[in-house]
Structure 1
Amino acid sequence: MQTILYARVSTVDQTIDHQKSQAEAAGFKLDRVITDDGVSGISTKLQDRSGGRRLFDILRPGDTLVVRWVDRLGRNYQDVTDTIREFMRRGVILRTVINAMTFDGSTQDPVQQAVRDALIAFMAATAQAQAEATKEAQKAGIAHAKLKDDKYLGRKPSYSLEQIQAVQEMTGKSVTEIAKVAGLSRQTVYRIQADPAAAVKALEVWSTPS
């Protein structure tokens, strides 16, 4: 019988080593560590991840699967609940580092089964809800940044619509002469000449009330 840690990270602020050290600090003696690095728990089911597939291949009756919390298995309610129930049917014990939860299929008492299944459902639903809340917050932040932040608006144009028109009207003149007459830098003249429509669009974005 083995004790296997499954660790999944999807962002740069999470690390496999941190999840492993947390498990060991909680007293788990790990025989193996199976990982998925940079994989979303929302859009990718456990069985579709390379590490997840290994779990389904190697877990045997009596083995203990350790996860930091159920959200490491995934953040999709249906996938997480189906996965935990499948592992319990196989005789695998699931234990979490956070809250020290234990789920297994050994109990035959219907009340205990109901409590266990309700808790699994609650934890899986919480994992999905947290993911959706984070996603919506990110969308809102990006939308706000697009209106307020130069990083999304791009650099504020150093020219006016009249200057764009002046550049377009002075066809045949040198860039140096156009720059002098229009009151622009040579680089700005080059950019306007290369894509006048984009230059106008940049002005429109910056002139839109926020």
Structure 2
Amino acid sequence: MKTILYARVSTLDQTIGHQEAQARAAGFAIDDVVADEGLSGLRVPLAERPQGRRLFDMLRSGDTLVVRWVDRLGRNYADVTDAIREFMRRGVIVRTVINGLSFDGATTDPMQQAVRDALIAFMAATAQAQAEATKEAQRAGIERAKANAQESKYRGRKPGFSRPQFEAVRDMLNQGTGVGSVAAATGLSRQTVYRIRDNAAGAEAALAEWGM
């Protein structure tokens, strides 16, 4: 039985090494790391990614699949839920680094199955909603930047946070982490974290306007 970490990075701001380090710090004894780089989790299904296909071939009954969170498997609701259910049918245990959740097909109790499946569905839906909101904010930021350039308008004050910090704040807040803890972990002020929390789309647009 093996423990396999699947990592996916879609931007230069993310790293496979960071995801592996997080998993090991959480106590997972990783035997293999399978990773896809530069691929969208919204547009490219897991089974169509080069290493995603390999993952389906590698996993056997009794193995454990570790992911930072379900959004690493993908950001498409149907794809993520189908993939997790397929892994569970094969006898694979799916575990997340964030929140320490565990999904398997061992239970035969219908109520436990219903709760498990509802949680998987909620997490997959959240991943897709976050991706779509980010894309919309990026489009809005790009359009605003174009309009500002055409009209020679001042772009406004440069954001006091980087894109990695923005993504870290958003992810931690989505997982229920308190503002104070988020600020300490990212090196940002509480006021900045509040601004990102209260207007994530505006923060995303500001980063896009400044090419960040």
After TM superposition, is the score higher than 0.5?
yes
Residues 109-165 of structure 1, C-alpha deviations (whole Å, 9 max, x = no match):
110000000000000000000000000000000010001036x98xxxxxxxxxxxx
Match of 1:58 in 2: 58
Root-mean-square deviation (Å): 1.2
**In the alignment, structure 1 residue 90 sits paired with structure 2 residue 90:** yes
**In the alignment, structure 1 residue 111 sits paired with structure 2 residue 111:** yes
Map 1:43-192 onto structure 2 (within 5 A). 43-149=43-149
- Whole-Å separation in 2 of the counterparts to 1:24 and 1:113: 29
When the two structures are superposed, what TM-score results if normalisation uses the length of structure 2?
0.70
Letter paired with 2:112: Q
When the two structures are superposed, what TM-score results if normalisation uses the length of structure 1?
0.71
Question: Number of residue pairs matched?
Answer: 152
The offset of 1:87, in angstroms, is 0.2
Partner secondary structure for residue 40 of structure 1: coil
Partner secondary structure for residue 7 of structure 2: strand
- Whole-Å separation in 1 of the counterparts to 2:73 and 2:109: 26
- Whole-Å separation in 2 of the counterparts to 1:92 and 1:76: 21
**In the alignment, structure 1 residue 18 sits paired with structure 2 residue 18:** yes
Letter paired with 1:51: Q
Uncovered stretches (5+) of structure 1, i.e. residues with no partner: 154-210
The offset of 1:15, in angstroms, is 0.2
Percent identity of equivalent pairs: 73
Mark the structure with the bigger radius of gyration: 1
Runs of 4+ in 1 over 3 A off after TM superposition: none
